[in-house]
């Protein structure tokens, strides 16, 4: 843990490292999708087009499993960006920071304080995930809860607020706690998993051994597990968003 | 006992409790899913996706505990 570098923008401050890594994630994501759609064809699709079509089919399946697809089809674009962004953001935290000695000499915008340092020192072992910052995950989960409200109001109108009083008016307390806990737990789940993963990478590299390389043997196992966690967490975030929106627009009660 | 030692002991207890709770909870979820799949192999897909949601819902509480442990560990003063 070291001090967070803050950039001052107007009246507020931003976490510079999170912001830069979000930009890098966005660039990688855009590059990936552009590579996938470059040779788009309705004939025999190439490998990358197959991959993208599989992801789209997967997300579409998630929606049609949880709600009437006609109502939820407008969610497809957002959910696709969500699952890809969270996955890329989780994975980018596992890449070793091989540019650390190079970036140590860049004094512009205090980049040397964020990414610089000796190679494989505990401070700069990997790039940090954007999702290892609680602000990013809270932004994503706020979008989720706003979507719940918007879809509930769109398909049920003012009738949507009636479910807060069911089955009896005193249950409103429970419903309000539920409504607040949904974005809170979504955000903390993603943040906790990714942040704990990065802390453990740094801790494993601090295991004493010959020339401080004692972590070489446990490291690959933990990295493989981190890839698994990245996949599971992006899946869970997406499916919980779908499930919450599906709960809000269901007609049964 | 000064406050640093108390924070470190608290870290250990919180991490241990989180590990025990998560292991038991996730173990129950996965065991029940395997039971279900063994009885009805064709329902595998539905059971698996429900299982992942269940695991994610179980996992938030140990993670909160772990975050508390990390906070205690890094702000021990």
User: Under an 8 A CB cutoff, do A188 and B63 touch?
Assistant: yes
Euclidean distance between CA atoms B33 and B39, whole angstroms: 10
pLDDT tens track for B25-43: 999 999 999 999 999 999 9
- Would an 8 Å CB–CB cutoff place A235 in contact with chain B? yes
Q: Which residues does chain B have with pLDDT short of 70?
A: 77
pLDDT at A124: 66
A12-16 CB contacts, 8 Å cutoff, 24+ apart: A15/A133, A15/A135, A16/A109, A16/A110, A16/A114
- Please give the pLDDT value at position A2: 54
Residue B60 at interface with chain A, using a CB cutoff of 8 Å: yes
Q: Is residue A30 part of a domain?
A: yes
Q: Which of B18, B54, B56 to mutate to test the interface with A (most CBs of A within 10 A)?
A: B56
Report the domain count for chain A: 1
Domains parsed from chain B with CATH numbers: 3-74 (1.20.20.10)
Q: If we measure between CA atoms, which residue out of A144, A238, A146, A141 comes closest to residue A191?
A: A141
Would you write out chain A's pLDDT as a tens digit for each of its 253 residues? Answer: 456 788 888 888 888 889 999 999 999 999 999 998 888 888 888 889 999 999 999 999 999 988 888 888 999 999 999 999 999 999 998 888 878 778 878 777 777 777 777 665 656 677 888 999 889 999 999 999 999 999 999 998 888 888 888 788 899 999 999 999 999 999 989 998 898 888 888 777 777 765 556 677 788 888 898 998 899 899 999 999 999 999 888 876 5
Q: SS3 for chain A, per residue?
A: CCCCCEEEECCEEEEHHHHHHHHHHHHHHHHHHHHHHCCCCCCCCCHHHHHHHHHHHHHHHHHHHHCCHHHHHHHHHHHHHHHHHHHHHHHHCCCECCCHHHHCCCCHHHHHHHHCCCCCCHHHCECCCHHHCHHHHHHHHHHHHHHHHHHHHHHHHHHHHHHHHCCCHHHHHHHHHHHHHHHHHHHHHHHHHHHHHHHHHHHHHCCCCHHHCHHHCHHHHHHHHHHHHHHHHHHHHHHHHHHHHHHHHCCCC
Is A14 part of any domain? yes
Task: Evaluate whether residue A1 is within a structural domain.
Answer: no
Question: Least CA distance to A134: which residue of chain B?
Answer: B67
ipTM: 0.72
Query: Does residue A217 lie in a domain region?
Result: yes
Print the domain residue range for A152.
6-249
Whether A44 maps to a domain, the answer reads yes
């Amino acid at each position: 843990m070291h001090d967070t570098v803050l950039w001052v923008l107007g009246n507020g401050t931003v976490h510079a490292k999170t912001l830069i890594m979000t930009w890098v994630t966005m660039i990688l994501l855009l590059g990936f999708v552009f590579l996938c759609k470059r040779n788009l064809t309705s004939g025999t699709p190439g490998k990358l087009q197959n991959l993208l079509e599989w992801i789209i089919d997967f997300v579409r399946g998630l929606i049609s499993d949880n709600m009437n697809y006609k109502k939820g089809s407008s969610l497809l674009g957002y959910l696709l960006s969500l699952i890809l962004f969270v996955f890329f953001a989780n994975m980018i935290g596992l890449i070793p920071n091989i540019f650390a000695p190079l970036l140590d000499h860049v004094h512009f915008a205090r980049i040397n304080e964020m990414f610089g340092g000796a190679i494989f020192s505990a401070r700069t072992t990997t790039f940090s995930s954007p999702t290892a910052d609680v602000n990013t995950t809270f932004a994503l989960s706020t979008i989720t809860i706003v979507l719940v409200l918007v879809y509930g109001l769109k398909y049920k109108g003012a009738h949507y607020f009636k479910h807060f009083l069911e089955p009896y008016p005193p249950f409103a307390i429970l419903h309000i706690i539920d409504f607040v806990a949904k974005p809170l737990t979504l955000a903390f789940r993603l943040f906790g998993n990714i942040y704990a993963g990065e802390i453990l990478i740094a801790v494993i590299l601090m295991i004493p051994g010959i020339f401080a390389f004692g972590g070489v043997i446990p490291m690959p196992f933990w990295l493989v597990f981190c890839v698994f966690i990245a996949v599971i967490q992006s899946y869970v975030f997406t499916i919980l968003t779908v499930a919450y929106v599906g709960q809000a627009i269901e007609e049964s009660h | 006992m000064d406050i640093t030692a108390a924070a470190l002991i608290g870290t250990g207890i919180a991490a241990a409790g989180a590990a025990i709770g998560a292991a038991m909870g996730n173990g129950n979820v996965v065991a029940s899913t395997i039971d279900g799949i063994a009885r009805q192999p064709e329902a595998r897909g539905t059971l698996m996706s429900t299982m992942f949601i269940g695991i994610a819902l179980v996992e938030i509480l140990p993670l909160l505990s772990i975050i508390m442990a990390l906070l205690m560990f890094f702000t021990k003063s």
